[in-house]
Structure 1
């Protein structure tokens, strides 16, 4: 596979596609039914380019379940590829999602009759796909969504996106903040120099964590005493990435999520982990970026650029940022962050926890009775 089908070596069905293209007449057609993972995943980009180079889709049916093939996991893509097709030709793409063959037949007929996106019918061309980084076959995108990728600046050019520290042995170097001495912990250092001069051993650690927007997941500390001397000496298992960003304010998100990505603002004082991906810049820019990243628009964009459960920096860096981002008001994200912070601080696991709200309510009630 690696030698003969280097562009499609990720899956055996890719070899069948490439071989079929090679066997087809230069004015012929290739009709095939395969899985759909190749349509958007980054590792299949070379196969997509090979498939679309000098060819064009004639028709396409995307079946989002395989109820009649229970031994196969995933979904199927059935398409006809024209060897001499024009890249500008807008071919019909039909999306079928319901379970059951009878229901699929009904939806297919409805899509062909109504010819509208609401019925699962879309028109798209190879040129449309080329507008998106990685050339994913995202036929359902509107013209405005596609145009956003060509008119906007990529997030990776607006903010400094960076992967953080990999300790090599978290059980040795990480703790929950309540497990260590408060007198040996520094929560608000603004630089590595200030952290080293503090004499503290433990510092806040951004490890990603569960789905939370705006604020939260602040519960770990890392042993960074003497500017991380012990971890630095733990090489090669420990990997010190982008130390110049440590203790800087950021917008951050978790590498893995079972659903949508969630972006959070982190104040200064944190070292970020390899799974707590982060973006850095001036505070106003970070606030505006946070508002953009948690928007419905970016949630739809992420379905295109990050179709799996991973939201690594390469994917997030492709998010298009329009010039209008400068009009987003930082006060808005401040209100949202404050609301999320109050929700986080209600729990005793927050280092800013002061009083259980039920106790506070009871004390207030007693005061009113007195």
Structure 2
């Protein structure tokens, strides 16, 4: 599939469609400044037909609603909404015409030979589209007005498809017909690019092309959002967080959750042969949900986006039904009615997901469009209920947090997990209002909103046998004020990122012994802020398998860092999960995963009981640790037991005033006013890098103590020698001995009071083993003191010869350091 061509098309199509919509808005006085007259019979010199007047009035009303009081914002949102609506419909019709899925069996955007043009226009007199006015077609054909004829046929085709796929072609705001851009079939237009720039085979062989188009359509808006560094709003959140999941990751997740459930219940199933990414279960410890047939399986994607995960799940479920003897044409309806659920906050993405599932169904059932069956794709939309709208006795008034959450569902979406008390309150209130709705128009309006709230809460409270997702990624720094406050309250242990909130939420969506598969940022594998999450995962669930693609390009647009989890609800002691270290430079990650599944001795496949991670401080997912290294953490003693470092490092608050290079001061000032200052520096082991001095006079220390932006190093650590290192590093850690008499700041901390164990600790810290441990404890660029101090030391086999070796390394490094003018002890260059 030509990703580059697809991206170029989508970006340009959005720009051209929005320009075309804006021209139509201006033509009909919808984008005019001031307050347009919704009942006007004409716009300037342009008279309006009764239908156009009605459509214009509807659009002005929609514009006001979308703008929420801001006319300019309403203009922008209406333009965007109309543009993406027509984009989705054009793409859908192109997809169907190439597969011969259109009821008319006639191409709309190309001729029968595949060239750009319209077979429908060429053969207009013979085209059979429901609702088509033959007289109108003949009139346009005789007038040779191909543009008007195409517009008429295209809108008629959309209307016919509204009865087949209403989620995509719904006569929503039929008034949007007024904003269909002119000259869609013009040379160098959107339709021509769609036909000529994207090969037919891409449309025919990749149903996921629909998802890629959705993501690429939003790519520029996404870039603009992150460049702006603004807080996410309900408008920008979907654009900023949508990511299309690569196919091999989708297969890995679905095959090891949905496929695993099927294989455990049907160990002789031939389905195993088609699941390349399936990892054999541990039969000794396996327990699972018993099912009698595929009808009993439920799978949910709580952030379904454009539906790629659901599409592959459809294919796997289809094979299950086939295996049980169901007829091909009856299977699609059973799958959509029984098995799949998608939740999404973005109506645009939900349209694509609905379309993708409908295309999967139509592939196997040529009469599917006439069966009135739709995929269970749900837009989690906000429900605004004002407390003043409710009776004073309404139970919902006792749940103000739920009411607040319902009003912001376009931000929090499926993260809302209604409690039993909240479900009861919204249900009772809906029933209370329903009783008076028949005789009170105001109550009827509120009752309708309450029914929507009730349906949404019940949907979000459901549980499934499988949950599979690529959740949204967004750090808390980009949260809106409401989102930030709500997440801190409802997901306190994982509040730093949306994707970690979804880990916790998805585990609550599955039944006991159900499967949860998801792809997330890898930071939750090791960062201290997610230690509570890791503890919950290990104590309450079973980690079946994990792919670690950190530092690779496995997942576009996520800073090359990912972890693909498959978890089961309920902890099974002794279970050894499968772990794949795909962050090594071993070629394509998908082929590397397949190689590891076929050949466990490949070198990047591991089996570990997740419970052993609790032996390591911070519980990092260090699956590659050897048994002996894990035992060292359990039975050894930490560096912290042999050293001292606590409290805050020194922060001057004004380095320009209080810091100097040592060569900038006179010898008389040293130690009377200025003190050597450890501040990290470049990569260097064993000795060196102390080139700064800090003002340590009484007046300076008073400033550090009193100033709000400064921190005074606690007195017990003044002038202490020991081991220092550079905290900020993009490569290996580097530890150095430092003499007494120094002060240090946070970028060059000192582990002090080591006594006779300094050489032992320094030798260990500069070893390969220590580096391996640090890579697991904290593989970020900031090496924290707590991680260094938690490293285990056994002390066995460390004798005087080892001490002499460390002393020699220090001596050699000191000689080298003193050979340059940046050393306090420089005498002469070594080459002279």
Classify the TM-score, shorter chain.
0.7 to 0.9
The aligned counterpart of 1:81 is 567
Deviates more, 1:167-176 or 1:274-283: 274-283
Distance 1:294 1:99, change over 3 A: closer
The aligned counterpart of 2:219 is none
Alignment of 1:1-370 (within 5 A): 1-64=487-550, 67=553, 69-97=555-583, 103-116=588-601, 118-162=602-646, 163-186=648-671, 200-225=672-697, 228-234=698-704, 235-236=706-707, 237-324=709-796, 327=799, 329-358=802-831, 360=832
Aligned residues: 342
Distance 1:202 1:98, change over 3 A: closer
Distance 1:24 1:298, change over 3 A: same
Which structure shows the higher strand fraction? 1
Tell me, in whole angstroms, the C-alpha distance in 2 between the residues paired with 1:98 and 1:148.
25
Tell me, in whole angstroms, the C-alpha distance in 2 between the residues paired with 1:294 and 1:325.
17
Shift of 1:121: 1.0
Please say if residues 550 and 582 of structure 2, whose CA atoms lie closer than 8 Å, have aligned partners that are also in contact.
yes
Tell me, in whole angstroms, the C-alpha distance in 1 between the residues paired with 2:535 and 2:728.
27
Tell me, in whole angstroms, the C-alpha distance in 1 between the residues paired with 2:608 and 2:635.
19
Deviation track 1:279-310 (CA, whole Å, cap 9, x = no partner) reads 11254211221111111111111111122111
Tell me, in whole angstroms, the C-alpha distance in 2 between the residues paired with 1:53 and 1:10.
21
The aligned counterpart of 1:367 is none
Shift of 1:66: 5.8
Deviation track 1:3-42 (CA, whole Å, cap 9, x = no partner) reads 1222221111122221211111112111222221111111
Structure 2, unmatched stretches of 5+, are 1-486
SS at match of 1:350: coil
SS at match of 1:214: coil
Which of structures 1 and 2 has the larger relative contact order (alpha carbons within 8 angstroms, sep 6+)?
Answer: 1
SS at match of 2:531: helix
Deviation track 1:216-243 (CA, whole Å, cap 9, x = no partner) reads 0121112223xx3322234223322222
Shift of 1:134: 1.4
SS at match of 2:580: strand
Tell me, in whole angstroms, the C-alpha distance in 2 between the residues paired with 1:38 and 1:177.
42
Please say if residues 258 and 309 of structure 1, whose CA atoms lie closer than 8 Å, have aligned partners that are also in contact.
yes
Tell me, in whole angstroms, the C-alpha distance in 1 between the residues paired with 2:808 and 2:554.
50
Tell me, in whole angstroms, the C-alpha distance in 2 between the residues paired with 1:87 and 1:339.
51
The aligned counterpart of 1:194 is none
SS at match of 2:512: coil
Shift of 1:244: 1.8
Please say if residues 107 and 119 of structure 1, whose CA atoms lie closer than 8 Å, have aligned partners that are also in contact.
no
The aligned counterpart of 2:125 is none
Please say if residues 66 and 72 of structure 1, whose CA atoms lie closer than 8 Å, have aligned partners that are also in contact.
no
SS at match of 1:222: strand
Greater Rg, structure 1 or structure 2? 2
Tell me, in whole angstroms, the C-alpha distance in 1 between the residues paired with 2:551 and 2:736.
34
Deviation track 1:66-115 (CA, whole Å, cap 9, x = no partner) reads 63643222322222211134131001112224789x93343222211221
Tell me, in whole angstroms, the C-alpha distance in 1 between the residues paired with 2:627 and 2:550.
23
Please say if residues 538 and 571 of structure 2, whose CA atoms lie closer than 8 Å, have aligned partners that are also in contact.
no
The aligned counterpart of 2:210 is none
SS at match of 1:8: coil
Distance 1:20 1:346, change over 3 A: same
Shift of 1:325: 7.1
Tell me, in whole angstroms, the C-alpha distance in 1 between the residues paired with 2:555 and 2:596.
23
SS at match of 2:710: coil
Distance 1:242 1:331, change over 3 A: farther
SS at match of 2:690: coil
SS at match of 1:6: coil
Tell me, in whole angstroms, the C-alpha distance in 2 between the residues paired with 1:58 and 1:209.
42
Structure 1, unmatched stretches of 5+, are 187-199, 361-370
SS at match of 1:248: coil
Tell me, in whole angstroms, the C-alpha distance in 1 between the residues paired with 2:550 and 2:826.
46
Please say if residues 87 and 126 of structure 1, whose CA atoms lie closer than 8 Å, have aligned partners that are also in contact.
no
Runs of 4+ with deviation above 4 angstroms: none
Deviation track 1:137-185 (CA, whole Å, cap 9, x = no partner) reads 1211110111111111111111112453222211111111111111222
Shift of 1:249: 2.1
SS at match of 1:48: helix
Root-mean-square deviation (CA), in Å?
2.1
Distance 1:65 1:310, change over 3 A: closer
Please say if residues 674 and 693 of structure 2, whose CA atoms lie closer than 8 Å, have aligned partners that are also in contact.
yes
Distance 1:135 1:106, change over 3 A: same
Q: TM-score, with normalisation over the residues of structure 1?
A: 0.86
SS at match of 2:736: strand
